[in-house]
């Protein structure tokens, strides 16, 4: 067993022994105990603890702007935030996981003695920023792909210790499935996949690999052959379709950029040749460096997408956590609006209103107004059902089809 490099002096060494294999990742206990925190928070606690200045605060999480000028984003990571704060003397209000939100809308507010919550700021932000970015990117691809299969392929772009976190966010955002086995198990779904180029190289031909797949792999697994390894996609498609016949479910084109040219025309040509020969049942899946724009161009000829980097390495949503109230008195730093807030949404017209907590907007479209910031935790006790990712994903899909994400955004500030 290779020895783990010695830890910096002062680390509680009884936790890290040479027979405790670990990556350069934080353990559950490291995060839960607040060890994944920025030093200046521990210093603030050291200065404030036991003094009159250590007071009850409300601090809210807001993104002033969204990446790539997104007009909306999908909130993900809330469950882990609540697990982190559970059993701590902290209360919280917030949007439920999977809610579509907009810039400057509070998504979470924590309340408690400052020194009880300070060391969690780093971890809370990390849990929300990354997961919300991934979920939003997945949702943006879902809107472009309509009801077509959209598989998250991107675990290979992130550290394996957090791959299930990233794939959960991609699934919540609207991906139909995920490629990593562990993530699929945690989500309670079947993992999605086809075949790697390596299999075809070792089997000597795409046809041989497809036949072997058909002979050896679980009969319930869809037969999807990768057809860009050796030869032109058109001729590979015909050969594989004729070899597998009705057993063939789909072909995957992962055509390298050096050969891609007009990818849509390649797909149209393959589609033509397959249909001409009676293989209308064979679907065409695409993957490889797919961007939102690429999916938009391929709609109408592609029957499914595998997206990796664009989703798993999505830009983070730049949330910040800021005090907005101390001992019940509104107070915030320059650039932030002080005081606890409500985010009202009209279920009639979709309009949204940011109001001081306790104030309702005057709105007259006849729809019912709901404050989206709901009590999530009371003194460390979780108050809400934490639904499985499957149900959170359904909430997101519902929002994507509703008015909620139309470009205008319907957002109003209090007068």
Q: By Cβ distance, which residue is nearest to ligand PCP?
A: 308
Half-sphere exposure of 102 (CA within 13 A, CB side): 19
Cβ at position 220, least distance to ligand PCP in Å? 22
The count of C-alpha atoms lying within 13 angstroms of the C-alpha of 274, restricted to the half-sphere facing its C-beta, is: 27
Closest CA to 111 of 87, 88, 90, 83: 90
Q: Does 290 sit near ligand PCP (CB under 6 A)?
A: yes
**The binder of ligand PCP chosen from 289, 330, 348, 380 (CB under 6 A):** 289
* Residue 196 within binding range of ligand PCP, rule CB under 6 A: yes
Q: Please say which residue, 99 or 130, places its beta carbon nearer to ligand PCP.
A: 130
Question: In angstroms, rounded to a whole number, what is the distance separating the alpha carbons of residues 211 and 178?
Answer: 25
307 or 354: whose CB is closer to ligand PCP? Answer: 307
Q: What share of the chain is helix, strand, coil (3-state, %, to 5)?
A: 40, 20, 40
Closest CA to 138 of 166, 174, 113, 88: 174
- Encoding tokens for residue 20? 């405790």
Q: Candidates 205, 214, 309, 320: give the one binding ligand PCP (CB under 6 A).
A: 309
Cβ contact 273:234 at 8 Å = yes
CA atoms within 13 A on the CB side of 44: 17
Cα Rg of the chain, angstroms: 25
305-322: string of b/e by CB count within 10 Å (b at 16+)? bbbbbbbbbbebbbbbbb
Q: Rounded to the nearest whole angstrom, what is the least distance from the CB of residue 149 to ligand PCP in the complex? A: 15
**Minimum separation from the CB atom of position 189 to ligand PCP (A):** 19
**Residue 109 contacts ligand PCP per CB under 6 A:** no
Min dist. Cβ of residue 76 to ligand PCP (A): 20
CA atoms within 13 A on the CB side of 326: 11
Please tell me whether residue 191 binds ligand PCP under the rule CB under 6 A: no
Q: Locate tokens 């609207």: which residue? A: 174
Nearer to ligand PCP, 77 or 288 (CB): 288
Q: Does 308 help bind ligand PCP (rule: CB under 6 A)?
A: yes
| 288 part of the interface to ligand PCP, by CB under 6 A | yes
The only residue of 113, 197, 260, 363 in contact with ligand PCP, by rule CB under 6 A? 197
Question: By CB under 6 A, is residue 204 in contact with ligand PCP?
Answer: no
Instruction: Say how many C-beta atoms besides its own lie within 10 A of residue 248's C-beta.
Output: 23
Whole-number minimum distance, CB 203 to ligand PCP, in Å? 13
Task: Please tell me whether residue 304 binds ligand PCP under the rule CB under 6 A.
Answer: no
Total residues at interface with ligand PCP (CB under 6 A): 14
| Closest distance of CB 258 from ligand PCP, Å | 12
By CB under 6 A, is residue 89 in contact with ligand PCP? no
Minimum CB distance to ligand PCP, residue 259 (Å): 12
**Residue ranges in contact with ligand PCP by CB under 6 A:** 153-154, 196-198, 254, 287-290, 307-310
């Amino acid at each position: 067993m290779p020895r783990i490099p010695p830890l910096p002096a002062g680390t509680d060494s009884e936790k890290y022994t040479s027979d405790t294999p670990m990556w350069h990742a934080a353990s559950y206990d490291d995060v839960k105990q607040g060890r994944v925190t920025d030093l200046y928070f521990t210093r603030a606690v050291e200065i404030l603890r036991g003094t009159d200045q250590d007071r009850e605060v409300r601090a809210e999480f807001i993104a002033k702007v969204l990446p790539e000028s997104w007009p909306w984003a999908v909130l993900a990571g809330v469950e882990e935030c609540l697990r982190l704060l559970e059993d701590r003397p902290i209360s919280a209000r917030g949007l439920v996981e999977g809610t579509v939100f907009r810039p400057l809308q509070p998504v979470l507010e924590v309340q408690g003695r400052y020194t009880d919550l300070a060391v969690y700021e780093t971890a809370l932000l990390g849990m929300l920023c990354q997961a919300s970015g991934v979920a939003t990117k997945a949702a943006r691809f879902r809107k472009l792909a309509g009801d077509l299969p959209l598989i998250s392929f991107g675990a290979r772009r992130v550290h394996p210790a957090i791959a299930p976190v990233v794939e959960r966010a991609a699934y919540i955002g609207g991906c139909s499935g995920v490629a990593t086995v562990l993530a699929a198990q945690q989500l309670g779904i079947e993992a999605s996949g086809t075949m790697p180029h390596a299999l075809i190289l070792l089997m000597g031909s795409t046809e041989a690999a497809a036949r072997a797949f058909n002979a050896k792999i679980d009969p319930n697994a869809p037969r999807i052959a990768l057809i860009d390894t050796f030869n032109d996609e058109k001729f590979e498609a015909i050969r594989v379709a004729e070899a597998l016949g009705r057993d063939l479910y789909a072909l995957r084109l992962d055509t390298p950029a050096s050969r891609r040219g007009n990818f849509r025309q390649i797909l149209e040509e393959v589609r033509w040749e397959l249909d001409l020969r009676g293989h209308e049942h064979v679907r065409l899946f695409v993957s490889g460096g797919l961007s939102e724009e690429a999916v938009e161009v391929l709609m109408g000829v592609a029957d499914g997408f595998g997206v990796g980097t664009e989703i798993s390495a999505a830009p983070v949503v730049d949330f910040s956590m800021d005090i907005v109230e101390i001992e019940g008195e509104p107070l915030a730093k320059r650039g932030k609006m002080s005081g606890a807030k409500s985010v009202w949404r009209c279920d009639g017209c979709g309009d949204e209103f940011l109001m001081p907590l306790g104030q309702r907007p005057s709105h007259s479209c006849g729809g019912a107004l709901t404050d989206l910031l709901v009590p999530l935790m009371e003194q460390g006790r979780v108050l809400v059902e934490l639904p499985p990712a499957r149900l959170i994903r359904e909430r997101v899909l519902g929002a994507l089809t509703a008015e909620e994400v139309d470009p205008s955004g319907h957002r109003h500030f209090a007068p």
